[in-house]
Every structure is written in C-alpha cells, then in structure tokens.
Structure 1
Amino acid sequence: MLEIKHLKTIRALAHTGSLAKAANWLHTTSSALSHQLKELEARIRHPIYVRKTQPVKFTPEGELILQLAEQILPLVQDTETRIQDLRTQSKGQLRLAIECHSCFQWLMPAISQFHKRWPMIELSFNNEYMFDALPGLTEGELDLVITADTFESDEFYFEPLFSFEMVLVTAPDHPLANKSYIDATDLTQQTLLTYPVEPARLDIYKYVLHPANCQPKHVKKVDQTLMILQMVTANLGVAVLPSWAVTEYQQQGLVETVKIGQQGLTSKLFAAVKQRQKNLGYIKSFFEISQRTSLTNLTDVTPIK
C-alpha cells in the first residue's frame, strides 16, 4: 500500500510546509505531487492533509504516515550509503572553509549527520581562508567551500544549497526600524557594519548601493556575527544579515529587521568543490545532508530552483 516515494513526499511536505516547496525540493511539479497524494489517499481511503492550510496540517492518518517516514527514510538512506561504502571502501578527508559567517545554525547539525554516515572521512575546518576561500580550492588546501559567490568555471562546481532573504538589522529604537522597507538612499546617513571583504562581494553593495550610486556615511568592518549584532543593539550602526541569523535576537526584542527594497533582497548559498570531485559519494552526501538540514533547522529558507 505504502511506497518509499509516498514516504518521501509526506516528509518533504512536512519539512517545507507547502505543496509547491515540497515539489521543488523533490525536483518534480506540484501537479505531479498532488496526483501522487490523491492516489495515496485513494489507497488508504482517508485524506492525508487539510487542504489550503499554511503551513500544511496533517490529518491523524497523515501524521501516522509522517511518523513512519521519519523512522524509515533515514534507515533506507543509511543502508544505501553502507552498501556504497562496502562497494567503494571510501576513505579520505573533507577540508572545509566557510565564507558564510552565520552558518553554524545549520552547518553544525549537518556536519554531525555527515560524520555519522561517513565515519571514515576525516572532516576538518581551515580558518586561514575565512573571508576568501576559493583560492584554497585552487591551491589544493581545501576540498569544499560554503560560499555565496558563483561564476562560470571549468575548475569549480557550485552545488546550490538554499536561498534566503537578507534584511537590514537595526536597534529597536533606530529611526529606520519602523519603515516597511528601505532603499539605497536610506543608508547614505548610516554606519554600515560589514564583514571584512570587498564591497563588490556583498549583496547590499552589488544589488542596492552600487546600482543607485550610493554609499553609506561610514563603514565599519567586523569579523564576527555576534559582535556585529552587539554593535547593532548598542546603536553603533546597522547591518545586513540573513533573516534566519537574527530571528532569535529579534524575538528577544534586541533588534529589529527591515525589508530591503519593496521586493526584498534574496541571496543564495552554494557548496563549491573541484569539478573532478563533485561525483564522489561522500561529497554528494554532504550536499544532500546540507540541503535537508538547512531546510529543517532554518526559517524562511527555500530550495534554489
């Protein structure tokens, strides 16, 4: 009656919260997914979820199937990996560097899962390439880089991880905190707190300030997200950060967030590896675990189409 594809669909629906996002995550269409769910409902003779609810709400029957999916799918995936391990006897190392400096909310759980699945792979961080890590791939000092910078390359492969919204972060009593959105001119009288990288690599410059031929009044470069947030709360400047990186602080009333532009400012995150390594079993596994873990652990993130 139940098939693995049904379990994958139910789990994706629960983790993404909507049929459209689940279809996107499973690399299919909403209509195909809807047809599959109707077929399953016909088999069990009960609805699985309540239509037109956001996020999706499951019926008791749907909850039972979801529980089964959460139990079975990790076992299936683990068994498939173990079979692959027996076939390839994979051993090696995965040397990481991150250019996303707010990554730890999803990256640490992802690394924990990766280590359980691939205990024979030695995983390590390299802090020498914190703000410009792609040269480390070229030089052979790194195996994988988490980055927002992509470009056409015969040397590198960029695996899409997820997209998210960048927001302006201010102190609660800051003059910009009550605006529905800000534009480039709003920043011309502000102190902008940024990471110590070239402005051309920062989304706020690339897509907002430079096109409008605007500059902040002052710029202060800070190398830690926590320090940036502390400076924001002290009204020492404003910052542009991923919305999911500041949710906890906003809920505590320490900061406010403001949309950047009427449509918002969307950014994307990728895992970069050498072209020749992209099909290695443990590399592909890291991609999959990172994508799934980010969707589970973060709010307001979506798969990259």
Structure 2
Amino acid sequence: MIRAIADTGNVSAAAGQLGVTQSALSHRIREAERLLNTTLFYRKHKRLVTTSAGKRLLHTARVVLGEMQRAEHDIDKLSVGIEHVVRIGNEAYGGYHWMPGFLAAFRAEHPAIGIEIIPDVSMTPFVALRDGTIDLSIVSGPVNRPGVRVVPLFTDELVAVMAEGHPLAGQPWLSAEAIAGEAYITYHTTPAGGREYEQLFTRHQVLPTRVLRAGVTEAVVAFVRAGQGITIMPRWTLGPYLRQGGLVTAGVTDEGLDIDWQVVLRKDEPEDSPAAVLAAALSRAELSRR
C-alpha cells in the first residue's frame, strides 16, 4: 500500500493498482496511521507525498517487497528441479560475452544450481555482496576489502582504444601525456583503485583535460568509435567490440599496464556451497580465451 501510493501519488490510482476500492485503501491508510500514531502522507499540489515517517516506512517496504519477489522467484525455480540459486554480479569494466557459453556448460554439469545475473550492481559489487543482493561477482583490480574471499582468474592488459581514423591510431603505444591530451571517455568520474587513474594518470601526474562520463561499456565504445575521444579498457572486455570493427588499440606506455580479474564471494561462504562451486568453475574456465 505504501509503495503504491508513493509511486502514484494518488489513492484512486494506487487502489486500482492494488485491486481494492478507493474507500478500502483510504481506510487502510487511516488504520496504519492510527497504529503507528503518526501521519504517513500529506497532500501537495494534489498529490499524496510521504512524510518523514512515511519515507522511512517506504524504504523498508521496498526492501521487504524486493526480497519477497526474489524469494518467490527462487521458489519458482526450486519447483522445477533447481535446488539452489546463485546470484552473480559483474562490475562496470566486465563484459558479458563469455557468460552464455560458460553458463551453458556449468548448467550441464550442475543442473540443480540455477544462475541469476544481477545487472544493476556494476558500480557497487562489494556492497551488493555484503547485503546479500548477489552471492559472487567478477571484479578487476586489487581487492582490499574485509569479509570477502578472492579467487584469482587471470591477468589482463589495459589498452588505449580509439577510432580507426584517430590521429593517434597506428602507434604501438601511447604515453600518459598523449592520452591525457585527448578527450577521455570513461564510465564514471570517480577513480577506481588499481586502474588507469592510479596506474597511469596519478603516477605520471597528468589528468585528462576533457572527460565524458558515459556510464556503461556500450556507450563508452560508441563514443570512441564515433571519434569523440579515447578510452582505456581491459582487452578481455574489449574483445567483442574489436571484432565489430571501427576500433584500434595501442599499449599504454612502453611498459604496458596489467590488471587482474578475480571472483569475490563472502569470506564465510562454505567451500562446498553453490556459490563456491560456481567460483571454482569460473577459475577453471580459462575465461581469458572467451
């Protein structure tokens, strides 16, 4: 009820959404406010708006309802022979090109373990792991977080990416100064540890003068392919986009830049749990070749 009214701002619309009459819903609001001894909504510009108490209750409602939906989803899977569901996250740098083939092979070997991909935790995989939204995640760069276990996958290379017609195309490697002198396309403007800002820009004491935040890999690649700037990306993530054409790569400095991929899961995860079984399968899968 709280969620429906907050989303619609209207008792009539909320009642229709919930499948009850408007008078019945109005009665429920009054009863809830009586039990809690506080006002949950006030009217502003013909809309019902949550009070501070209503906002607190709304937050809890969204958490509870979200968990109920996940529980129903899991139980539905259990009813068709799947005994466990493992939720897997992926960070912004990570790609999905390897998942279909890997998951098909994993399901053939472990038919009782269902996999659910949670797509909206790319910027906060460790928070999602801690609060139980996911059971494991693919991440890159150093992991210095308490309460997590790390399963190494492979070492990758960070490469500079640009359009085929870019003035810097064709060079075997680019300096930090050359990259910083171009419009830089990135996921977000908060530097992540162990990646290009730490390994390249901070180390060489330069920063890009023009930065475009694109949010997701597809958008970053689209802007780069259109000649709008340059980016730095793991070669593994970039692979499918290179095969589509229109892009070229160069090394980052004459020494190159490496980055490690790993699986992270909760430290107290039992060794024989479905999440640990999936993590072990990922470590054996030679994902760098996919």
TM-score by length of 2: 0.65
Q: Which runs of 5+ in 2 are unaligned?
A: 1-81
Aligned equivalent of 1:141, options 121, 133, 155: 133
Aligned equivalent of 1:263, options 244, 255, 259: 255
Alignment partners' CA distance in 1, 2:99 and 2:140:
15
8 Å Cα contact 1:96-1:126 kept in structure 2: yes
Aligned equivalent of 1:205, options 189, 197, 200: 197
SS of the equivalent of 2:143 reads coil
- Aligned partner of 1:124: which letter? E
SS of the equivalent of 2:268 reads helix
Which deviates the most, 113-122 or 209-218? 113-122
8 Å Cα contact 1:107-1:294 kept in structure 2: no
Instruction: Give matches, 1:96-175, under 5 Å.
Output: 96-175=88-167
8 Å Cα contact 1:106-1:294 kept in structure 2: no
Alignment partners' CA distance in 1, 2:216 and 2:262:
20
Q: Structure 1 residues 171 and 94, CA, compared in 2 at 3 Å: closer, same or farther?
A: same
| CA-CA distance at 1:231 after TM superposition | 1.4
- Aligned partner of 1:268: which letter? D
CA offsets 1:253-297 (integer angstroms, 9 cap, x no match):
411100001121111111110111151253343233323434473
Aligned to 1:190: 182
CA offsets 1:179-214 (integer angstroms, 9 cap, x no match):
221121112221111112621346110100011111
Matched, 1:236 2:228: yes
| CA-CA distance at 1:116 after TM superposition | 2.1
Alignment partners' CA distance in 2, 1:273 and 1:135:
12
Aligned to 2:275: 283
Q: Which runs of 5+ in 1 are unaligned?
A: 1-89, 299-305
| CA-CA distance at 1:153 after TM superposition | 4.3
Alignment partners' CA distance in 2, 1:291 and 1:141:
22
Matched, 1:181 2:173: yes
Alignment partners' CA distance in 2, 1:253 and 1:151:
33
**Higher radius of gyration, 1 or 2:** 2
8 Å Cα contact 1:233-1:255 kept in structure 2: yes
- Aligned partner of 1:225: which letter? T
Counting matched residue pairs gives 209
CA RMSD of aligned residues (A): 2.3
Alignment partners' CA distance in 2, 1:232 and 1:219:
12
8 Å Cα contact 1:107-1:290 kept in structure 2: no
SS of the equivalent of 2:275 reads helix
- Aligned partner of 1:176: which letter? L
Matched, 1:220 2:215: no
Q: Structure 1 residues 146 and 245, CA, compared in 2 at 3 Å: closer, same or farther?
A: closer
8 Å Cα contact 1:161-1:287 kept in structure 2: no
SS of the equivalent of 1:108 reads helix
8 Å Cα contact 1:146-1:270 kept in structure 2: yes
| CA-CA distance at 1:146 after TM superposition | 1.1
Alignment partners' CA distance in 2, 1:286 and 1:174:
41
Alignment partners' CA distance in 2, 1:122 and 1:272:
19
Which deviates the most, 268-277 or 122-131? 122-131
- Aligned partner of 2:206: which letter? C
| Percent identical residues | 21
CA offsets 1:15-67 (integer angstroms, 9 cap, x no match):
xxxxxxxxxxxxxxxxxxxxxxxxxxxxxxxxxxxxxxxxxxxxxxxxxxxxx
- Aligned partner of 1:121: which letter? I
TM-score by length of 1: 0.62
